[in-house]
Amino acid sequence: MGKNKAVVVFSGGQDSTTCLFWALKKYDQVEVVTFDYNQRHKEEIEVAKEIAADLNVRHHVLDMSLLSQLAPNALTRDEIEVKDGENGDLPSTFVPGRNLLFLSFATILAKQIGAKHIITGVCETDFSGYPDCRDVFVKSLNVTLNLSMDDQFVIHTPLMWLDKAETWELADELGAFNYVREKTLTCYHGIRGEGCGECPSCKLRKNGLDSYLQKKENS
Ligand code: ZN
């Protein structure tokens, strides 16, 4: 039981939606979990719900409002501006401990529903500078979680070494390119698909998309 069951940490964005398609190819049973931490845009949770329903996977939404209580940041507070980090600082969107908590709760959920595999779209290639997106952190937490529950979970990070262009390529290989392009929400201002085009997240997404489309054209 559970060998072929997976939980995807899911936000309705490009990365986690690509991970969901990846998981659907690989596992017989897939469920997704979204964390509600008072994101500025409730839209994020709506999008996640719609995609989960659309792809016919069971969706868990867990209340993580304690995170914005503990660590106010640009993703949860309107008065904090979204901006890139300067002089080696982390961006204002960094939420200390976010992936530590998300992956821990996702794994506790996995235990409850009899899943062995946890999938997350974190990536250390494409700059963010978030320490809890690094491979060494995920591996370390995996060991800790297994020790804490005396179990053998495997945390998968299919995007860890991909840049944004390669993430689009993966979506394309999975037959999900248009779906991801049109249905997902990555924009910090809550606009689906191409987004506002101005925020750091939209710029990163667009640069990756442009470079993938260019590469495709040239091949
Ligand atoms: Zn945007």
Q: What is the pLDDT of residues 116-160, one digit of tens each?
A: 999 999 998 865 678 888 999 999 999 999 999 999 999 999 999
Span from the CA of 120 to the centroid of ligand 1 (angstroms): 22
Span from the CA of 43 to the centroid of ligand 1 (angstroms): 13
Span from the CA of 197 to the centroid of ligand 1 (angstroms): 5
Span from the CA of 87 to the centroid of ligand 1 (angstroms): 23
> How many CA atoms lie less than 13 Å away from 3 in the CB half-sphere?
1
For the ranges 72-76, 154-158, 200-204, the lowest mean pLDDT is seen at: 72-76
Assessment of whether the complete model's pTM goes beyond 0.75: yes
Neighbours of 185 (CB within 10 A): 26
DSSP state of 91: P
Span from the CA of 93 to the centroid of ligand 1 (angstroms): 13
Average pLDDT over residues 60-89: 70
Task: Name the pLDDT band for 98 (thresholds 50, 70, 90).
Answer: confident
The answer to whether the CB of 200 falls within 8 A of the CB of 82 is: yes
> Which residues place a Cβ less than 5 A from the ion ligand 1?
187, 189, 195-196, 199, 202
The answer to whether the CB of 59 falls within 8 A of the CB of 49 is: yes
Q: What residues contact residue 78 under an 8 Å CB cut-off, 6+ apart?
A: 40
The pLDDT value given to residue 84: 61
The pLDDT value given to residue 163: 92
The pLDDT value given to residue 162: 95
The pLDDT value given to residue 1: 46
Bigger pLDDT: 217 vs 93:
217
Task: Name the pLDDT band for 78 (thresholds 50, 70, 90).
Answer: low
The pLDDT value given to residue 74: 58
Q: Could you tell me the two tokens for 161?
A: 């070494």
Span from the CA of 109 to the centroid of ligand 1 (angstroms): 31
The pLDDT value given to residue 14: 96
Span from the CA of 195 to the centroid of ligand 1 (angstroms): 5
Round to the nearest angstrom and report the end-to-end CA distance of the chain.
44
The answer to whether the CB of 152 falls within 8 A of the CB of 11 is: no
Average pLDDT over residues 170-181: 98
Bigger pLDDT: 93 vs 157:
157
Name the phi and psi angles at 63, rounded to 5.
-75, 120
Span from the CA of 191 to the centroid of ligand 1 (angstroms): 7
Rounded CA-CA distance 163/206 in Å is 12
How many helices (H) and strands (E) would you count in the chain? Answer: 8, 5
Q: Could you tell me the two tokens for 59?
A: 């969706």
